[in-house]
């Protein structure tokens, strides 16, 4: 029952966020741009270089980690956009107070706010990865090159494990921010700082090459650093969100 109530809130939050033109266009834009960009950057060069060329293994070792990092980064951006509207958007639309006085616990409300951003983000992560992997290998087959594993094992860890944790850190940070500002654009501006902090470790897999050949150890190291930073941020921000999420205070602020 608790789970169902939280899912109802999550669905309502997502629908409300999609009514904001900026959020809607950004959500669907990044959903399309991520896979398209990665297919062009990874599949394009690999399809044009003969697999018998000495440059082919180098390109594979460089482009696969790069594509995984870009895909993960593009997929977590909408999490901040949606969650920034979790409370501030409802303040502006005057729909927050009726929600806060409903017979729901603070935990149910909080989980609803989180899931409303986390579920779409995870769908983008997993769905975008599947579409991108298929598109890259179809392109390679058409050009007569062998199939490649995309994402590779470090990329799978980055996308399927680290990605959702990064998204959770962004969402809980945005919830904290949105409870303290009165306008949606203020949440966007302030929350972008948190997103930029999380972009730094996500970019590390793009910068882990020694010379022209990618080092698998460095790829794993950069992914583990990303995981550690994301886990710490997610734990801290989630602890603060659960501690400070209080409907009585929010009702008085509406």
pLDDT digits (tens, 9 = 90+) for 195-225: 665 565 456 555 554 444 456 677 788 788 8
Confidence (pLDDT) at 212: 46
State both tokens at 18: 């999609």
Question: What mean pLDDT is predicted for residues 39-67?
Answer: 85
213: domain range? 2-253
pLDDT mean across residues, the chain: 78
Distance separating alpha carbons of residues 116 and 172, to the nearest angstrom: 12
Distance separating alpha carbons of residues 223 and 202, to the nearest angstrom: 8
Question: What mean pLDDT is predicted for residues 190-195?
Answer: 62
3-state DSSP call for residue 208? Answer: coil
When comparing pLDDT for 149 and 186, which is higher?
A: 149
Distance separating alpha carbons of residues 151 and 149, to the nearest angstrom: 6
For residues 110 and 201, is the Cβ–Cβ distance under 8 A? no
State both tokens at 120: 């779409």
Confidence (pLDDT) at 185: 66
For residues 81 and 26, is the Cβ–Cβ distance under 8 A? yes
What's the pLDDT tens digit per position in 101-132?
566 777 777 888 888 889 999 999 999 999 99
Question: What mean pLDDT is predicted for residues 136-155?
Answer: 91
Number of domains composing the chain: 1
Among 10-14, 39-43, 45-49, the minimum mean pLDDT is found in: 10-14
Residue 254 has pLDDT above 60, yes or no: no
How long a stretch of residues is the chain?
254
State both tokens at 29: 């834009």
Question: What mean pLDDT is predicted for residues 63-90?
Answer: 80
Question: What mean pLDDT is predicted for residues 1-25?
Answer: 78
What's the pLDDT tens digit per position in 54-73?
888 878 888 888 888 888 88
User: How many beta carbons lie within 10 A of that of residue 48, not counting itself?
Assistant: 11
Confidence (pLDDT) at 84: 76
Distance separating alpha carbons of residues 254 and 11, to the nearest angstrom: 22
Q: What are phi and psi of 214, to 5 degrees?
A: -75, 140
């Amino acid at each position: 029952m608790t789970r169902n109530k939280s899912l109802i809130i999550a669905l309502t939050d997502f629908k409300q966020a999609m009514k904001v033109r900026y959020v809607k266009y950004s959500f669907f834009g990044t959903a399309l741009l991520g896979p398209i960009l990665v297919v062009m950057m990874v599949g394009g060069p690999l399809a044009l270089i003969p697999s018998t060329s000495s440059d082919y293994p180098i390109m594979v070792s460089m482009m696969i980690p790069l594509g995984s990092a870009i895909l993960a980064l593009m997929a977590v951006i909408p999490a901040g956009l949606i969650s920034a509207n979790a409370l501030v958007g409802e303040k502006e639309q005057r729909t927050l107070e009726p929600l806060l006085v409903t017979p729901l616990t603070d935990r149910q409300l909080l989980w609803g706010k989180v899931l409303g951003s986390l579920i779409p983000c995870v769908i983008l992560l997993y769905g975008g990865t599947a579409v991108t992997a298929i598109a890259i290998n179809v392109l390679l087959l058409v050009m007569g090159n062998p199939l490649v594993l995309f994402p590779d094992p470090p990329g799978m860890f980055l996308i399927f494990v680290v990605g959702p944790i990064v998204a959770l850190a962004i969402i809980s940070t945005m919830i904290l921010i949105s409870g303290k500002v009165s306008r949606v654009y203020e949440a966007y501006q302030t929350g972008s700082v948190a997103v930029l902090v999380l972009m730094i470790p996500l970019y590390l897999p793009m910068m882990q090459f020694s010379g022209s050949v990618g080092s698998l150890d460095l790829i794993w190291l950069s992914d583990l650093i990303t995981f550690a930073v994301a886990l710490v941020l997610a734990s801290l921000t989630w602890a603060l969100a659960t501690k400070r999420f209080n409907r009585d205070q929010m009702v008085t602020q509406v």
